[in-house]
Amino acid sequence: MIRIEHISKRFKKLQALDDINAIFNNGQVVSLIGPNGSGKTTLIKSILGMVKADSGKIFVNNTQINGDPSYRSNIGYMPQIGRYPDNMKIGHLFAMMKDIRNAKDMVLDEELLKKYDLEKIFEKPMRTLSGGTRQKVSAALAFLFNPDILILDEPTAGLDPLSSEILKEKIIAEKKKNKLILITSHILSDLEEFTTHVMYMQEGKLIFLKEAETLQEETGEIKISKAIARIMKGEQPGNDWIDKVFHLNSNKKTI
């Protein structure tokens, strides 16, 4: 569903992405992991067309993204920090998005809208909202148009435990619908229930992209969060296990 070929991006002296190759398919929940500054957000924004790569190609549903934004209609995006007009009321924001997407004849997914009771505060302006409520708005918008691809950047950040569980249950439900879901999170335990594949990046490079079960076997850890933590601390048992599936210098890093 998404194919990335030799994507590179530099910001002045910073090599944010360095020859990234990857393929993401339907039914996968891919957790994008890596230290701060590893290139995760730049990769996400490149897929969304918010950042233009210096070289390489990105394909969504076998169509190369090349400036035509229409492909984004099939992607639900939840940013790490939602930025909305301060004076716009929540209800007006949802109405505006429906108008932009010509949603009159669409079957909308308003489950999070209802579970988060956002309709009860439709008259509140965005500037009055707490960070957690903004996250709820962003989550409800990401799922609203029932997209086949979901890109969630630190989705549980700022959410209270109950709201976080509601969102995780929603992600699991969408996974069962064979959707492609890309997630970045620093809260590794949040990834445990639904991750099918792990993509680990460091200093703009793709270190590996592999099935969660393979990662568990190779690290000897039952929990994905502990397996990832070991890798981030540099405790992996050697480079040979990375080479089994994805070599750092290979031309393709597919699943």
Tell me if 17 is assigned to some domain: yes
Tell me if 62 is assigned to some domain: yes
Q: Which two tokens stand for residue 223?
A: 């929990």
Predicted pLDDT at 254: 42
Tell me if 251 is assigned to some domain: no
The count of other CB atoms within 10 Å of the CB of residue 160 is: 12
Give the chain's mean pLDDT.
89
Tell me if 248 is assigned to some domain: no
pLDDT digits (tens, 9 = 90+) for 36-69: 889 999 999 999 999 999 999 999 999 999 878 8
Statement: residue 233 has pLDDT above 90: no
Residue 150 near residue 75 (C-beta atoms within 8 A): yes
Tell me if 114 is assigned to some domain: yes
Spatial separation of the C-alpha atoms in residues 69 and 66, rounded to whole Å:
8
Residue 2 near residue 58 (C-beta atoms within 8 A): yes
Q: Could you give the residue ranges of the DSSP H alpha helices within the chain?
A: 40-47, 90-100, 111-115, 131-144, 161-176, 212-219, 224-232, 240-243
Residue 233 near residue 67 (C-beta atoms within 8 A): no
CATH of the domain at 238: 3.40.50.300
DSSP H or E segment with residue 15: strand 14-24
In total, the chain counts a number of residues equal to 255
Q: How many domains does the chain have?
A: 1
Residue 192 near residue 162 (C-beta atoms within 8 A): no
Tell me if 233 is assigned to some domain: yes
Strand ranges of the sheet holding 55-60, from the earlier edge strand across to the other edge:
14-24, 2-11, 55-60, 63-64
Average the pLDDT over each of 22-26, 80-84, 86-90, 101-105 and give the range with the smallest value: 101-105
pTM (predicted TM-score): 0.88
Average the pLDDT over each of 12-16, 119-123, 218-222, 242-246 and give the range with the smallest value: 242-246
Q: Provide the sign of the torsion angle of the four alpha carbons 152, 47, 181, 212, taken in this order.
A: negative
Predicted pLDDT at 236: 54
For the segment 133-157, the average pLDDT, to the nearest whole number, is 96
pLDDT digits (tens, 9 = 90+) for 177-201: 999 999 998 877 888 889 999 999 9
Residue range(s) defining the domain that contains residue 50: 2-243
Tell me if 249 is assigned to some domain: no
Q: Which amino acid is at 41?
A: T
Q: 180 vs 69, 82, 92, 150, 196, CA distance in Å?
A: 19, 22, 29, 6, 11
Tell me if 250 is assigned to some domain: no
Residue 203 near residue 38 (C-beta atoms within 8 A): yes
